[in-house]
Amino acid sequence: MIYVGIDLGGTNIAAGLVDESGKLVCKKSIPTGAHRSAEEIIKDMASIALDIVNENGYTLQDVKSIGIGCPGSVDKKEGVLIYANNLPFSNTNIRSEIQKYIDKPVFLENDANCAALAEAKSGAAKGTKNSVTVTLGTGVGGGVVINGAVLNGELGHMVIKADGEPCTCGRKGCWEVYASATALVRQTKQAAEKDKSSKLWEYRNKDGKFNGVTAFNAAKAGDKTAQQVVDNYVKYIGIGVANIINIFQPEVIVIGGGISNQGESLLEPVREYIKGKTYNTGTNSWRIEKAILGNDAGIIGAALLKG
């Protein structure tokens, strides 16, 4: 049997076939066309699912289920996309719409949770029962897998600094405000403006703007201001990850998103920061690993969804 995974994004609809072992066999993508109606978009989702099956020598009889990862708020039980920023869906029953075209079980899940499920089953946390995948991007996304199943929940909007900087969600001091890629860029810019002699400016001028690697590169070149930016950013990632270790006692914390491309230059200081700061109620072991599935995580996780 094979499993169809669909990653519904604001720009593209990506679909893939995943085998019993959790391996991505093939994938394809089409533009979402988010200016269109939900019905039209869902019809395209069904088409790309049928196409990828047929184009790769399978038939619908080989398909066990269709999983869909969506941005925003999902009612998993009913198969409804409640709300998604930048997409024309509002309490849309994607399951029943897809089933108009394909008579198979259809499962929905938030896309960050799909990515976490993929890393848990086929990626950096493969072989574990309990893991948390944190994505450091525009925001901070998180997905929690306990006993092999995805939990509902939102980690980026955990306040880690009461009365701290305002978050887009309306609260103050959310983890996302300090640990996202967006936050790192802001922190880099602020530090550079205070230290006009910092090498941060060289790297900024080379790239045309401050970005998520400016501080890491300037720090590697020995710039003290840049190193302070990195140390401070590591501290904030560490506070949130230590909270996650205390709250969920996962075996592995997987770090993904663009910033995770720093690899060990980021992960090793985060591990160092956390050491001795966790309060485990059970076993005392945890690992921090880089996500390995990249953009395919969404498709793979969607395909792995079960009822």
CB 68 within 8 A of CB 37: no
Ranges within 130-149 binding its own copies (CB under 8 A): 130, 146
CA pair distance 198, 25, nearest whole angstrom: 47
Please count the residues of this chain forming the interface with its own copies, following the rule CB under 8 A: 42
CB-nearer residue toward its own copies: 7 or 154: 154
CB-nearer residue toward its own copies: 138 or 280: 280
CA pair distance 61, 74, nearest whole angstrom: 28
User: Which of 7, 97, 154, 289 is in the footprint of its own copies by CB under 8 A?
Assistant: 154
Please tell me whether residue 127 binds its own copies under the rule CB under 8 A.
Answer: no
Terminal CA-CA length for the chain: 17
Q: What residues contact 88, with CB distance under 8 A and at least 6 apart?
A: 34, 35, 36, 37, 38, 41
CA pair distance 277, 122, nearest whole angstrom: 29
User: Which of 126, 161, 189, 220 is in the footprint of its own copies by CB under 8 A?
Assistant: 161
| Backbone dihedral angles phi then psi of residue 168, each to the nearest 5 degrees | -60, -20
As a residue count, the chain comes to: 307
Ranges within 175-194 binding its own copies (CB under 8 A): 178
Q: What residues contact 13, with CB distance under 8 A and at least 6 apart?
A: 6, 7, 29, 30, 31, 32, 41, 44, 45, 48
**What is the torsional sign of CA 159, 164, 165, 168?**
positive
Binding to its own copies by CB under 8 A, coded x per residue (else -) over 2-41, reads: ----------------------------------------
CB-nearer residue toward its own copies: 2 or 255: 255
User: Which of 57, 127, 170, 222 is in the footprint of its own copies by CB under 8 A?
Assistant: 170
- Among left, alpha and beta (phi > 0; psi -120 to 50; other), residue 153 is left
User: Which of 249, 288, 291, 301 is in the footprint of its own copies by CB under 8 A?
Assistant: 249
Please tell me whether residue 158 binds its own copies under the rule CB under 8 A.
Answer: yes
- Among left, alpha and beta (phi > 0; psi -120 to 50; other), residue 276 is left
Please tell me whether residue 239 binds its own copies under the rule CB under 8 A.
Answer: yes
User: Which of 42, 66, 74, 299 is in the footprint of its own copies by CB under 8 A?
Assistant: 74
Ranges within 94-113 binding its own copies (CB under 8 A): 110
Please tell me whether residue 70 binds its own copies under the rule CB under 8 A.
Answer: no
CB-nearer residue toward its own copies: 63 or 174: 174
Residues that bind its own copies (CB under 8 A): 73-76, 82, 110, 130, 146, 151-155, 157-164, 169-171, 173, 178, 235-236, 239, 242-243, 246-249, 276-277, 279-283
